[in-house]
Structure 1
């Protein structure tokens, strides 16, 4: 305990910086673990498309590169906001959700065939 009081008295700024770095590391580690557990669950893999999904979620669910998903959805990088949902993409492109789902599944099949 004396060492901690010494560090606090003599190196307060450094001690605070260390505690902040430790807190940030803990937060990022927690986020990584939660993400790994979520995406390891087979229930979240190759899910049928729903209107709330984003291209990033689809990319993670189908294990596809983002560019493949964007091509399948018929949008270009930077054309829409990053958090744009399938509902907005469908409205923007004029393509029905079922057609978007078929395009994503087709892209997933082709990608998996070319990248075993």
Structure 2
């Protein structure tokens, strides 16, 4: 193994460096993915009561809502939301955290109703009239 690494370092240092960086990034993002997967699949972290420290992204992951639904409920622009906290959002909207949570839960119910609503029949091949 050492001989092979020495050979590649001597013959292809750029390729080996790129490979090492790619492996490090793969491990980093893999660990991050697994960590968040386990965290949000724990029932204790689903549909949590809103706290002032939470971000819109955290709320979306807890309630399993897409970004656009959360941004609509919290009246955010596309450029906002990365680091803004739910407590500041509620203050800006002039409502309490409890009211904001009620709106998030209502949006979740509406989103679930849309997702599980009646399915449309598939269109026939070849367009209309065939």
Cα displacement (A) at 1:50: 0.8
Q: Where does structure 1 differ by over 6 angstroms across 4 or more consecutive aligned residues? A: none
Give the whole-Å Cα distance in 2 for the aligned partners of 1:74 and 1:2. 59
Kindly indicate whether residue 106 of structure 2 is the aligned counterpart of residue 110 of structure 1: no
Q: Deviations over 1:36-60 (max 9, x none)?
A: 1111111111111111111111111
Cα displacement (A) at 1:76: 3.3
Alignment TM-score, normalising by the size of structure 2: 0.81
Q: Give 2:123's aligned residue.
A: none
Give structure 1 stretches of 5+ with no counterpart. none
Give the whole-Å Cα distance in 2 for the aligned partners of 1:65 and 1:8. 45
Asked if 1 retains the 8 angstrom alpha-carbon contact of 2:56 and 2:81, the reply is no
More helix by share: 1
Q: Give 1:51's aligned residue.
A: 52
Alignment TM-score, normalising by the size of structure 1: 0.90
Between the two proteins, the alignment pairs up a number of residues equal to: 115
Cα displacement (A) at 1:81: 4.3
